[in-house]
């Protein structure tokens, strides 16, 4: 089971380093894979602080070209030079605020996989799409952009549950994950207001292979509690 913490635009290098050192000492369960996704400026501090541990460091985004005139972007070789293990791609905030289309996300994902990075690619429907009964159609369209790869993980993050405090019911998450797995045989994480209070119930669903955690990943204790909840599922 994989638990990934997406820090979004929080924690500069100093705070990131301190957080990672505390996380390193938090005695996380050995049978849970753990990843943190700091902002670009904090990746080096995270890598350094987590050196010698099993905790991976992922970026939050990555461009499809190795170099070029792409102001504000970062390439896979740059991430690898830092010691970064993988990257997120297609997070709903990238799609909403920065115009990442399914095609753009697919280009990012394929290039990163080809470069040897691990990728967590995000899919999910908006509240309007859900209310219109289009959840499964949206998931089919988004997942169709990807191909099976041993280094690819998908994250189902219903957009209406990102940063809103709303959470999909375990049954809703299970249903969406089943749809995704019918389309692509890869692990699928759940993302969307995952907290210590609801983590165990969500992670207990058979088709849920872990969690992509937002706000609750910004505090060591809450993030560690989610990791421990994941371990209890398989104990």
Q: Which residues are catalytic?
A: 91, 157
Rg of the chain over all Cα atoms, to the nearest angstrom? 16
Burial of residue 136 (number of CB atoms within 10 Å: 0-12, 13-18, 19+):
middle
Place of tokens 């990943």: 217
Tokens of 104: 């753009």
Which residues touch 199 (CB under 8 Å, ≥6 apart)? 211, 225, 226, 229, 230
Alpha carbon of 115 to those of 82, 87, 88, 104, 208: distances in Å? 14, 12, 14, 17, 27
How many Cβ atoms from other residues are within 10 Å of residue 235's Cβ?
Answer: 7
- Segment (H or E) for 142: helix 135-143
How many Cβ atoms from other residues are within 10 Å of residue 94's Cβ?
Answer: 18
């Amino acid at each position: 089971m994989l638990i990934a913490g997406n820090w979004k635009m929080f924690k500069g290098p100093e705070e990131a380093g301190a957080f990672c050192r505390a996380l390193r000492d938090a005695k996380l369960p050995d049978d849970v894979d753990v990843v943190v996704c700091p902002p670009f400026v904090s990746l080096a501090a995270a890598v350094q602080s987590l050196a010698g541990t099993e905790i991976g460091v992922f970026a939050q985004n990555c461009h499809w070209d190795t170099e070029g005139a792409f102001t504000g972007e970062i390439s896979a070789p740059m991430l690898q030079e830092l010691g970064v293990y993988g990257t997120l791609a297609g997070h709903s905030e990238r799609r909403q605020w920065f115009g990442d289309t399914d095609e753009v996300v697919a280009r990012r994902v394929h290039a990163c996989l080809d470069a040897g990075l691990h990728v967590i690619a995000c899919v999910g429907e908006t509240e309007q799409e859900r209310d219109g009964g289009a959840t499964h159609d949206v998931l089919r369209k988004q997942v169709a952009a990807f191909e099976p790869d041993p280094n690819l993980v998908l994250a189902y993050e219903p957009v209406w549950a990102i940063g809103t405090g709303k959470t999909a019911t375990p049954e809703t998450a299970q249903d969406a994950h089943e749809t995704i797995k019918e389309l692509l045989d890869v692990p699928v994480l759940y993302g969307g207001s995952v907290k210590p209070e609801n983590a165990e119930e969500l992670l207990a669903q058979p088709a849920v292979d872990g969690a992509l955690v937002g706000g609750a990943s910004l505090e060591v204790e809450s993030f560690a509690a989610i990791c421990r909840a994941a371990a209890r599922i398989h104990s």
